[in-house]
Structure 1
Amino acid sequence: MLYAMIAKDAPGSGQLRLDTRPAHLNHLEALGKKLVFAGALLDAQDQPEGSLVVFEAETLEEAHRMAEADPFVAAGVFGSIEIRRWRLAINTSGAEL
């Protein structure tokens, strides 16, 4: 099953995001094939203001554990996180999902 994490950055967390980014990327890489895709949500000036991450997980609880293990969470980069069941309808990326 696929789950989407929609996370919005806490106000004023831009530098904290930059400082924590290497650990965040290591965490995402460590998820291996459980990570479907991930990237920053951008504001009108193309600056990060959150993240969108799609996990493959057996349960909602497993998806929450993966999200909560993200160093951005522990560091306080994210002001809010929402985890939702997600269904792929169209895939033009060429990636097999």
Structure 2
Amino acid sequence: MYFIILAEDKPDHLAVRMDIRPSHLAYAESEGCVVLAGPLLTDGADPKPRGSMLIIEAKDRAAAEAFAAEDPYAKAGLFAAVTIKPWMPALGDWLPLKKE
């Protein structure tokens, strides 16, 4: 089952994000469940990270919640809010279910 994790950073926490980023990336890669991920950006000519969006594969909501809770960003207190929603892929060349 797939889940989208949307996490909004606390205001004025860009330095925390940048400090923890290597640990966050290592964690996400080591868990082997991330299908697609990247930062949410601010609007404007010079966009800055303001949150995270991850699509993960997990056996159930509890596993998705556990993955999100163990993220180094979450443990560092970066996020003001985290939303986890079940999701089903439908379109895109990257589709995890697409077989050649």
Instruction: Output the TM-score relative to the length of structure 1.
Output: 0.92
- Asked if 1:39 corresponds to 2:38, the answer is yes
**Map of 1:6 onto structure 2:** 6
Q: Say what the alpha-carbon RMSD is for the aligned residues.
A: 1.1
Q: 1:17 matched to which residue of 2?
A: 17
Question: What is the percent sequence identity of the aligned residues?
Answer: 35
- Partners of 2:80 and 2:25 in 1: CA distance: 19
For each residue in 1:39-86, what CA deviation from the matched residue of structure 2 results, as whole angstroms up to 9, or x when unmatched? 000111321010000110111000000011100001011111000001
Is residue 3–residue 56 contact of structure 2 (8 Å, CA) maintained in 1?
yes
User: SS state of the match for residue 88, structure 1?
Assistant: coil
TM-score, structure 2 normalization: 0.90
- Equivalent runs, 1:70-85 vs 2, <5 Å: 70-85=71-86
What CA distance in whole angstroms lies between the structure 2 residues aligned with 1:92 and 1:59? 25
Listed as ranges, the gaps of 5+ residues in structure 1 are none
Question: Aligned partner of 1:68: which letter?
Answer: A
Structure 2 alignment gaps of length 5 or more:
none
Deviation for aligned residue 1:92: 2.4
For residues 86 and 31 of structure 1, what CA distance do their matches in structure 2 show?
19
Code of the residue aligned with 1:67 in structure 2: it is A
Counterpart of 1:76, as a letter, is G
Work out which of the two has the higher radius of gyration on C-alpha atoms and give 1 or 2.
2
